[in-house]
C-alpha cells in the first residue's frame, strides 16, 4: 500500500500530518535514502524514512490513556493564546491524539492514544461507542426534555436518540445523558433548545472505558489488546 509521505510520518507517531509536510518542504525528510521534495508523492508504507537523518520507525505498541480533563484545559495541540492543553499533561515523546474532544468548559474522561487508526475507530459513530455524561443545569427537568429519547432535529441537524436519566431535581438539576455519537457541543445545543443552561458537564464513560475515581488532572494508562480495532482489555 502507498500513501503520501506526510501521512506515513504522522501514522508512525512522529508528528502531525501538517508538521510533516513542513518538514518535507524544508528538505528534512528522506525516503529510502533519497530526499523527498514533493508532499503529493506516494511512497510504500513500509519505506525507510528519516527526518534530519534520524529514522522514523513505526511505533511498536499501541498505547491508550484515560485522562480526567479539568475545566479550563483545551483539547488541541497548540494554542495561540498560550492556554494549557490536554497534551501538556503527557511526557510521551510520541505524537499523541485525543479521541474526540471536550470543550474548555467541560471535564471528565478523555481518551488519549498514539494510534490514529484506533482514535478514528473509537470516534466513528457507526461503531456505536456509548458516551455517558453527567449534566447539571439551572432549574427543574421539564417533561419535554424526554423527547430526546426519540431523537430530535435542531436547526436542520438531526440528533440520534439519547437515553436520559434523572439524577436530581432542584434549583440545580442533574441528569445522565447517554449518546452514541459526538456531534460538536451536542449536549449544550440540545439543552439550549429547551431553554436550559448547562453549568457543569462531566463525561464519565466512553465505550468500555470509565472515569471511575480518577481525579481531575490524573492519568491512567490501560492495557490494550487490539484485533482490527475491535478488542479492548483493561
Give the strand pairing for 107-113 and 198-206: parallel
Q: How many residues comprise the chain?
A: 234
Calculate mean pLDDT across residues 8-13.
82
Evaluate if residue 223 carries a pLDDT over 70.
Answer: yes
Calculate mean pLDDT across residues 197-226.
91
Domain ranges of the chain: 2-55, 64-125+210-222, 130-206
Catalytic machinery residues: 103
Evaluate if residue 84 carries a pLDDT over 70.
Answer: yes
pLDDT tens-digit readout, 125-161: 888 899 999 999 998 899 999 999 999 999 999 999 9
In CATH, which of 3.40.50.150, 3.40.109.10, 1.10.490.10, 3.30.70.580 is domain 64-125+210-222?
3.30.70.580
What three-state secondary structure class fits 220? strand
CATH number of 130-206: 3.30.2350.10
Cα 52 from chain centre: 30
Categorize the per-residue pLDDT at 231 as very low, low, confident or very high, splitting at 50, 70 and 90. Answer: low
CATH number of 2-55: 3.10.290.10
Residue by residue, DSSP assigns 108-149 as EEEEEES-HHHHHHHH-GGG---EEEEEEEEB---GGGGGGG
- Range with the largest mean pLDDT of 74-78, 165-169, 178-182: 165-169
Amino acid at each position: 500500500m502507498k500513501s503520501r509521505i506526510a501521512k506515513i510520518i504522522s501514522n508512525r507517531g512522529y508528528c502531525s500530518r501538517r508538521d510533516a509536510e513542513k518538514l518535507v518542504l524544508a528538505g528534512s525528510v528522506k525516503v529510502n535514502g533519497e530526499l523527498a521534495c514533493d508532499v503529493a508523492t506516494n511512497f510504500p508504507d513500509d519505506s525507510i524514512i528519516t527526518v534530519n537523518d534520524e529514522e522514523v520507525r513505526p511505533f511498536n505498541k499501541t498505547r491508550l490513556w484515560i485522562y480526567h480533563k479539568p475545566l479550563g484545559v483545551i483539547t488541541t495541540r497548540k494554542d495561540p493564546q498560550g492556554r494549557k492543553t490536554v497534551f501538556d499533561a503527557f511526557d510521551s515523546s510520541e505524537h499523541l491524539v485525543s479521541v474526540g474532544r471536550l470543550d474548555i468548559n467541560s471535564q471528565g474522561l478523555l481518551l488519549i492514544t498514539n494510534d490514529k487508526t484506533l482514535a478514528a475507530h473509537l470516534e466513528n459513530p457507526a461503531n456505536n461507542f456509548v458516551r455517558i455524561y453527567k449534566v447539571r443545569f439551572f432549574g427543574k427537568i421539564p417533561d419535554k426534555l424526554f423527547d430526546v429519547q426519540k431523537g430530535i432535529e435542531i436547526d436542520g441537524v438531526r440528533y440520534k436518540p439519547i437515553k436520559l436519566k434523572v439524577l436530581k431535581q432542584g434549583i440545580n438539576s442533574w441528569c445522565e445523558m447517554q449518546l452514541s455519537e459526538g456531534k460538536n457541543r451536542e449536549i449544550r445545543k440540545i439543552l439550549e433548545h429547551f431553554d436550559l443552561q448547562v453549568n457543569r458537564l462531566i463525561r464519565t464513560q466512553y465505550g468500555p472505558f470509565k472515569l471511575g475515581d480518577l481525579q481531575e488532572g490524573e492519568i491512567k494508562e490501560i492495557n490494550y489488546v487490539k484485533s482490527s480495532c475491535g478488542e479492548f482489555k483493561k
